[in-house]
């Protein structure tokens, strides 16, 4: 904290913000998931935090979220493999609560309906979509990170 030394100070206190250094390619992640309740593909772009030892810890900040088009490769896969739910629920009362019992029911949990091979191929599509979103939104997301006070290293990949 620093205070001006001249006599013009009106009691304003200025804080010096220490910038955290992050690497765009390694510290920014995009979580993509299928929302069965609303029948949409959602994503959240976030950065991870680090503990006092410099080890990755947990979510630090969500910088963007949104909905993916069904025209993407991931969306086309869901449609062609008939993995989509019948559609959005019109009433909150018709949405089952996500308890351990409901998540263990195959009709309410898509992953329980898939073979290990199908899950692996789906995860590959999720990873490819993450790379596509990080590339497409690179300028905007780096700008947001800098606006939040992060010193962003533009990774090669």
| Residues 45 and 63 sit within 8 Å (Cβ to Cβ) | yes
Check whether 37 has a pLDDT greater than 60. yes
pLDDT at position 57, please? 83
Q: b vs e for 87-111, b when ≥16 Cβ sit within 10 Å of the residue's Cβ? A: eeeeeeeeeeeeeeeeeeeeebebe
Query: Looking at residue 72, what is its pLDDT?
Result: 94
Q: What is the mean pLDDT of residues 80-85?
A: 88
Contact predicate 22/150, CB 8 Å: yes
Residue 27 has pLDDT above 80, yes or no: yes
Q: Which segment of 93-97, 133-137, 146-150 scores lowest on mean pLDDT? A: 93-97
Whole-prediction pTM:
0.76
CB 125 within 8 A of CB 22: no
């Amino acid at each position: 904290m620093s205070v001006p030394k001249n006599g013009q100070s009106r009691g304003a206190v200025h804080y010096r913000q220490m910038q955290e250094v992050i690497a765009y390619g390694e510290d920014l992640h995009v979580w993509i998931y299928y929302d069965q309740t609303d029948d949409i593909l959602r994503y959240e772009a976030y950065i991870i935090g680090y503990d006092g030892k410099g080890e990755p810890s947990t979510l630090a900040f969500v910088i963007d979220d949104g909905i993916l088009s069904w025209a993407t490769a991931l969306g086309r896969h869901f449609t062609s493999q008939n993995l989509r739910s019948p559609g959005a629920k019109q009433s909150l009362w018709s949405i089952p609560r996500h308890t351990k019992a409901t998540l263990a029911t195959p009709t309410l949990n898509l992953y329980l309906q898939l073979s290990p091979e199908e899950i692996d191929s789906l995860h590959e599509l999720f990873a490819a979509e993450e790379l596509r979103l990080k590339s497409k939104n690179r300028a905007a997301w780096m700008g947001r990170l800098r606006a939040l006070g992060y010193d962003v290293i533009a990774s090669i990949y």
